Structure 1
Amino acid sequence: MNNLFSNFLFFILIIIWSYTAIVTKVALLYIDPFELSLLRTLIGAMFLFVIVLSLKKLTIPKNIWLVIILGFLQNSLLMIFYNLALVQGGAGKVVLLIYSMPFWTILFSVLFLKEKFSILQEISFVLALLGLFFILKPWASHSDFFSYIAALLGGLSWAAANIVAVFIWRSKEKIDGINLSFWQMLFGFLGVFLFSFFVKISKPIEVNLTLVLALFFIGVLATGFAWFLWLYLLKNISPSVLGLTSLLVPIFSIIEAWYHLGEAPGENEIIGIFLILTALALIYLNNLIKLKRTKI
């Protein structure tokens, strides 16, 4: 895939996902978190179904169990943990904990994909981890501890889904990206639907224009379209590199939450952001070195 084109797609993904926490925070004023998870995955699945049908690419994957696991991890569990975390947790910090995903992805990549890392990648990993540590301030007491645990579990689930996606792409089956996106989204919706039978809904839905617009953004753009982009990028970029680079999303979210919700970052957050940006610069430097070596 063209490097410039992939960077462009990734930039679009960053903008969409960085605003998702803020839009979700607003939507949760009018809807229960489990019902929001259900509608988000349903709208995403319906959007992708229309696209797949229009392109005439609807086929049942042969590795159906892997796709079911992918949908359960990447949509059912992630969406539920994400929305539960946002009920009480600050948008900026919840997104950061969700984006502990790259660190779990790196660990899983070493264990299951046998990936090896250069010195620059190892340094960038340590810097990014240190940056996350400064932002989260584990030494301070948190009244919304449950929210942050839920967000952390969401990041773990997402990382496991990344590895499953790589196994699917590396299998002998040639599956189309949009087709895979639809099926994993459908199974993700079914997973949330099953969960809903065991959960007591905390409040009725308050239908208004704000909620409708929020559901469109969350369901169509941040779920259906964005997950298609993510799986497309995973097909062409190392999951560990893509995961670490995605740390731009929580940095954007912190700035956006500051502007829209008044959640101003403190000194520790600023130090953490600087460390993460330094780590990302090292990743791109490492990729440039690799690119030059392949041309020699």
Structure 2
Amino acid sequence: MKLKHALLAILVAVIWGTNFLAINATLQDIPPLLSVALRFLLVVFPWIFFIKRPAAKLSMVLAIGLTTSLGQFAILYLALKLGMPVGLAPLVLQAQVLFTALIAMGFLKERLKAMQLIGIGLGVLGLVIVGIGRAQLAPLLPFILTLLAAFSWSIGNVITRLAQQTKPSSGEPAASGLSMVVWSSTIVPIPMFLLSLLFEGPNALGEALSQLHWPAVAGMLYTVLISSLVGYGIWNSLLSRYPASAVGPYSLLIPVVGIVSAWLVLGELPSPAEVLGGALLLAGVGFAVLRWPRPGLVPPVVAQAPKRQPVQSRR
């Protein structure tokens, strides 16, 4: 990967790692379900009028929206509102890599390599340690909800892979690019507004607007413009240039950025159990996403053509 593209991948990791601070700021003034509804309403409009619909089937686009967008973020926002630490949330969400591998093995018949199986085992062990650590300090429900958010994201990943396997007659990528982010988000606002009306009450929007402070507004704009549109725009452009195995490992920086930023801004410090479990989880994710050369495989040597001897001219 070229240096400028590697720097862009690091930038996306920083954007997505600090995105949890923005979500936390939004949740201070706006209830979680209403926050998700407003976020994706702004992701869709006005951008949908300027961005062409992705080439994937509409059913797959909506399924990706239901899982990657609605399912993941509705559960995640609720978990953060109920007390999931801002720094720990991006770490636990990395479990989506492990879930994706297992679901793909079951539904896409993908064979897992030995290193991936080791990674899944390490990741599960890390999650168990983090869960035990959280149970000793706080209620376990926010942690479980964050795992469910990661699981919903992983289902969306598998559906995205299925969409990418289709070959539209137009020759365009079926499930990549900013268009998938915008168009798949169309299924989110209406259900979330209805859920907000049901569980948060009909006065939730009016009360939120009446007590809105600038950090909540800035947080909402950050999640929409920077995290959703800029972040996914850069990330998808990198995936169009390089294989996923070259781009994916940069996502390991997201929880690191999340933990450090939460410590610097909110003063959150992970417990020893969370540090140990988090390290095992990241190691497991690393084993699952990194490419490992086969043992004993030697790179082929390219034969060089013999140098031509200069021909001496006869006088």
TM-score using structure 2 length: 0.77
Letter in 2 for 1:78: Q
Match of 2:35 in 1: 36
Q: 1:151 aligns with which of 142, 146, 151?
A: 146
Match of 2:267 in 1: 262
Match of 1:23 in 2: 22
Match of 2:226 in 1: 221
Aligned residue pair count: 286
Distance 1:33 1:288 in 2: 41
Distance 1:149 1:270 in 2: 18
Distance 2:11 2:107 in 1: 30
Identity within the alignment, %: 22
Moved more, 68-77 or 86-95: 86-95
- Segments of 5+ residues of structure 1 without an aligned counterpart are none
Match of 2:74 in 1: 80
Match runs of 1:40-119 below 5 Å: 40-46=39-45, 48-49=47-48, 53=50, 58-59=52-53, 61=55, 63-87=57-81, 88-119=83-114
Distance 2:297 2:243 in 1: 17
Moved more, 201-210 or 227-236: 227-236
Match of 1:187 in 2: 187
Distance 2:239 2:199 in 1: 33
Match of 1:248 in 2: 253
Is residue 2:213 matched to residue 1:208? yes
Do 2:94 and 2:285's aligned partners in 1 also have CA atoms closer than 8 Å?
Answer: no
Do 1:177 and 1:232's aligned partners in 2 also have CA atoms closer than 8 Å?
Answer: yes
Match of 2:291 in 1: 287
Do 2:26 and 2:220's aligned partners in 1 also have CA atoms closer than 8 Å?
Answer: yes
Secondary structure of residue in 1 paired with 2:29 = coil
C-alpha deviation, 1:142, in angstroms: 5.7
* 1:5-61, Cα deviation, whole Å (9 max, x unpaired): 6644432222111111122112211111112111111222236436xx2xxx52464
C-alpha deviation, 1:105, in angstroms: 0.6
C-alpha deviation, 1:183, in angstroms: 0.7
Do 2:87 and 2:255's aligned partners in 1 also have CA atoms closer than 8 Å?
Answer: yes
Letter in 2 for 1:255: V
> How has the CA–CA distance of structure 1 residues 139 and 59 changed in structure 2, closer, same or farther, with 3 Å as cutoff?
closer
Higher helix proportion (structure 1 or 2): 1
Letter in 2 for 1:110: M
* 1:192-228, Cα deviation, whole Å (9 max, x unpaired): 2343343324852122222221111111112233344
TM-score using structure 1 length: 0.82
Structure showing greater radius of gyration is 2
Q: Kindly report the root-mean-square deviation, in angstroms, between the aligned alpha carbons of the 2 structures.
A: 3.1
